[in-house]
Amino acid sequence: MPSTQQIEISNGTLSAEASSLSMEAGRQCRGKLWSNLRNVCELLHIPCAATIEDAGLLFHHVQFKAGQRIYTIGQGFDALYIVNSGFLKTVSIDEFGNEQVLSFPMKGDVIGVEGIAAKKYTSEAVALSDCSLILLPFQNLVELGRTHMEFEHAIYSVISRELVRNQAMVSMLGVLGAEARVARFLVSLSNRYAEIGYSKKSFNLRMTRQEIGSYLGLSMETVSRTLSLLSEIGLISVYQRAISINDGDLLKNLRRIPPSKLRSKQLVANARALDANWHGASSSAMIN
């Protein structure tokens, strides 16, 4: 009872849809219900020794509709989740109720790790689309790790990996300007989409400009303007939430433009000069 999910709708657009389901038991099950250890290891990209495959262990699947909350701040921690499908965001909420987006988990990502220390979640996870998560009761994991050394190390790795990611984020926020942040964000998304089988060059944003801005430490308007700029320059194409990456390398290496005076048009020139694989008309054609 205390550890069951409190399905609640987000302060978003989907209240009507979500409310029709919100009274169900927290961890509802639909579609495929269970995953074994092998599935879990595959999702996490960790080697799964055959020796531990035997363990009859099965992990529960949990389905969430867009807008639903997986866990909330302060809720007692007892499980991690692996994203099996769908897209989410994790947010912290400051002392005055302002949301701050911390990550955009997708297939293969683990959420809830920050709860281990205080035995409470310190952020909340919200489904941006319908999601299927794998429930990993933390005690089970620990016990499993105790009997299988290589799995134990996997647990440590997963946690530590989060740390590395956050450090990269801190570096980015501290050093890079708006253009570079947005550019890297897109490259990062592109790579992650590719990893899970989507197109690396063309994909849909699952989050609003607002959420991107919060994640990158920018205002919504700056995100929008920057996307427009990158599009004008031809590095990407934007049509609402659909993004096409026209030049990933240039995007990835885009740096702070403040130190120098080279601006917009100058950049276009640079882009054309530096990029052999230039797709002339594709970008502007798609935009207008």
Nearer to its own copies, 52 or 169 (CB): 169
- Residue 119, interface with DNA (CB under 7 A)? no
- Residue 94, interface with its own copies (CB under 8 A)? yes
**Distance, CA of 38 to CA of 223 (rounded, Å):** 40
Site track 23-52 with its own copies (rule: CB under 8 A), x = hit: ------------------------------
- Residue 266, interface with DNA (CB under 7 A)? no
CA pseudo-torsion sign 244, 247, 250, 253: positive
- Tokens in use for 157? 């790795």
Among 1, 6, 2, 3, CA closest to 24: 6
**Distance, CA of 147 to CA of 149 (rounded, Å):** 6
Strand-by-strand arrangement of the 110-111 sheet? 34-36, 58-64, 131-137, 79-85, 110-111
Nearer to DNA, 43 or 180 (CB): 180
- Residue 98, interface with its own copies (CB under 8 A)? yes
For residue 109, the partner it binds in DNA, its own copies, none, with Cβ less than 5 to 8 A by kind, is none
For residue 210, the partner it binds in DNA, its own copies, none, with Cβ less than 5 to 8 A by kind, is DNA
For residue 85, the partner it binds in DNA, its own copies, none, with Cβ less than 5 to 8 A by kind, is none
Q: Using CB under 7 A, which residues numbered 151 to 190 contact DNA?
A: 177-179
For residue 184, the partner it binds in its own copies, DNA, none, with Cβ less than 5 to 8 A by kind, is none
Q: State how far Cα 170 lies from the chain centre.
A: 16
Site track 193-222 with DNA (rule: CB under 7 A), x = hit: ------------x--xxx------xxxxxx
Residue 238 main-chain phi, psi, to 5 deg? -125, 125
CB of 184 to DNA, least distance (A): 13
**Distance, CA of 29 to CA of 25 (rounded, Å):** 9
**Distance, CA of 128 to CA of 211 (rounded, Å):** 11
- 186, amino acid identity: L
H/E stretch holding 243 reads: strand 242-245
Which positions lie near its own copies, rule CB under 8 A? 92, 94, 98, 100, 102, 113-118, 122-123, 142, 146, 152-153, 155-164, 166-171, 173-175, 214-217
Where on the chain is the footprint of DNA (CB under 7 A)?
A: 12-13, 16, 177-179, 205, 208-210, 217-225, 227-228, 238, 240-241, 256-259, 261, 263
